[in-house]
């Protein structure tokens, strides 16, 4: 036997691990020749597994589990109905502190609150309209926020842990707002006077050259009921699309318009934008069901904004946009151009790529969750990641994975 100092690299390359970490440790060991041969064989097998690792084609997983947030408890009191403020109205809404994420309308926000001020605030909200404000900060150092989103509580539960009262909440984003005024009450809770931002519906690009007197001649077929009606309706949709494209192209030739105008006209169609974004989403989830996606362009644009892995500055820019078509165009541009996910601090170190993203949830590859200490974080599922420094041991606390 010989004594030698060696450097070992510990690489975990399994698909279900979200990162690869290279740790260098120096130590002295006394090893036999048989042990060294067994270790070399094991390392060769591991390297072969890394090379042969492939993405699974079928994911046998209940994708409704992540959206249910069952780790908060199954006996939560649920509320029905929804609270919406009038557009351009200026209500005063209490602000929930310590929420560092950018809440998007339609996005679920799980919370676990233990501070007495927050517990008292939630109890008062339950007796009223169950609505609070979540301010959108671009970074942790920013003191004042200009925009935010209203959140409505739809599930609630109280419990005690070693004499400490804890409130568990599931809320959902409702409406965008602009902050007009902030003031702090004697109990430390902030009250925000906000302006509810409206959703603008842009007219068709060709509406400026259409004769209003001919609007009465437009045909709007009713929703088909029978199989024959469905076939005729599909034919009518196809005819409309081809006929409209033909008329637009004919108008382009007559007006001698530029390519930019043609692209602007093409990307102003909300159905076209939604189809192109769905094509991008299918690259993340091959088993994507269109029934799980909103058919309304406004709700669809918010769903996409919530699952895009972008920084807070860019997410706030999407939140400011007041038109679904403009928001969809920005999201499509982001999905086409942004292919690499890098470190938020240095902006240079690559963590993973767009091709490694996959979805285990009905809401998409990224969603917000709350840990046992009440910190809300957004989780993104990927097949492989690199340049990560893993800290601590794996934990199953508050995990939505079964088992």
Predicted local confidence at residue 20, as pLDDT: 37
Q: How confident is the model at residue 395 (pLDDT cuts 50, 70, 90)?
A: confident
Rounded-to-integer distance, Cα 18 and Cα 148, Å: 31
Q: Which two tokens stand for residue 354?
A: 């767009």
Hey, where are the domains in the chain?
Answer: 63-201, 212-335
Mean pLDDT value of segment 295-303: 92
Most confident of 47-61, 220-234, 300-314: 300-314
Predicted local confidence at residue 205, as pLDDT: 63
Count the Cβ atoms, other than its own, within 10 Å of residue 299. Answer: 14
**pLDDT tens per residue, range 242-286:** 455 445 445 544 544 444 444 444 456 788 899 999 988 888 777
Predicted local confidence at residue 173, as pLDDT: 95
pTM for this predicted structure? 0.72
**What dotted CATH number matches 63-201?**
2.30.130.40
3-state secondary structure of 267: coil
Mean pLDDT value of segment 110-114: 93
Consecutive H or E run containing 70: none
Mean pLDDT value of segment 137-159: 87
Q: Is the CATH number 1.20.58.1480 carried by domain 212-335?
A: yes
Rounded-to-integer distance, Cα 96 and Cα 152, Å: 12
Q: How confident is the model at residue 61 (pLDDT cuts 50, 70, 90)?
A: confident
CA distances from 325 to 133, 139, 174, 269, 320 (A): 26, 27, 19, 8, 13
Mean pLDDT value of segment 120-140: 90
Sign of the CA dihedral running 114, 117, 118, 124: positive
Does residue 145 carry a pLDDT above 70?
Answer: yes
Q: How confident is the model at residue 68 (pLDDT cuts 50, 70, 90)?
A: confident
Does residue 375 carry a pLDDT above 50?
Answer: yes
Q: How confident is the model at residue 16 (pLDDT cuts 50, 70, 90)?
A: very low
Rg value, the chain, Cα: 26
The residue among 386, 353, 351, 395 whose CA lies nearest residue 22 is 386
The residue among 12, 58, 60, 65 whose CA lies nearest residue 384 is 12
Does residue 103 carry a pLDDT above 50?
Answer: yes
Rounded-to-integer distance, Cα 83 and Cα 65, Å: 26
Q: How confident is the model at residue 142 (pLDDT cuts 50, 70, 90)?
A: confident
Rounded-to-integer distance, Cα 179 and Cα 316, Å: 13
């Amino acid at each position: 036997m010989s004594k030698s100092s060696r450097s070992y690299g510990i690489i975990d390359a399994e698909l279900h691990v979200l990162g690869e970490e290279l740790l260098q440790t120096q130590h002295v060991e006394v090893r036999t020749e048989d042990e060294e041969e067994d270790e070399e064989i094991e390392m060769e097998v591991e390297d072969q597994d890394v090379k042969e690792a492939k993405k699974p084609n079928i994911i046998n997983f209940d994708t409704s589990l992540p959206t249910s947030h069952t780790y908060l408890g199954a006996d939560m009191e649920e509320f029905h109905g929804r609270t919406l403020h009038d557009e351009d109205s200026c209500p005063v809404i209490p602000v929930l502190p310590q929420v560092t994420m950018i809440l998007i309308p339609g996005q679920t926000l799980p919370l676990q609150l233990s501070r007495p001020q927050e517990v008292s605030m939630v109890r008062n909200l339950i007796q009223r309209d169950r609505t609070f404000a979540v301010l959108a900060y671009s970074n942790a150092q920013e003191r004042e926020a200009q925009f935010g989103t209203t959140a409505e509580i739809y599930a609630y539960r109280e419990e005690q842990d070693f004499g400490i009262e804890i409130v568990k909440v599931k809320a959902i984003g409702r409406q965008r707002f602009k902050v007009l005024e902030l003031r702090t009450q004697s109990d430390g809770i902030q009250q925000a006077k906000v302006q509810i931002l409206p959703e603008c519906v842009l007219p068709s690009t060709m509406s400026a050259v259409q004769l209003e007197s001919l609007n009465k001649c437009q045909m709007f077929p009713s929703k088909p009921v029978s199989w024959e009606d469905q076939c005729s309706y599909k034919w009518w949709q196809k005819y409309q699309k081809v006929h409209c494209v033909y008329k637009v192209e004919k108008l382009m030739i007559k007006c001698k318009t530029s390519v930019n105008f043609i692209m602007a006209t093409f990307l102003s169609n909300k159905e076209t934008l939604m189809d192109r974004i769905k094509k991008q989403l299918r690259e993340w989830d091959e088993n994507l069901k269109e029934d799980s996606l909103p058919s309304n362009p406004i709700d669809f644009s918010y769903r996409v904004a919530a699952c895009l892995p972008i920084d807070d500055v860019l997410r706030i820019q999407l939140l400011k946009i007041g038109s679904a078509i403009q928001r969809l165009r920005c999201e499509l541009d982001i999905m086409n151009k942004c292919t690499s996910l890098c470190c938020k601090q240095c902006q240079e170190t690559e963590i993973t790529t767009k091709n490694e993203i996959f979805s285990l949830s009905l809401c998409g590859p990224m969603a917000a969750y709350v840990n046992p200490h009440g910190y809300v974080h957004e989780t993104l599922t990927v097949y492989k990641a690199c340049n990560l420094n893993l800290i601590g041991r794996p934990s199953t606390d508050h995990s939505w994975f079964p088992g």
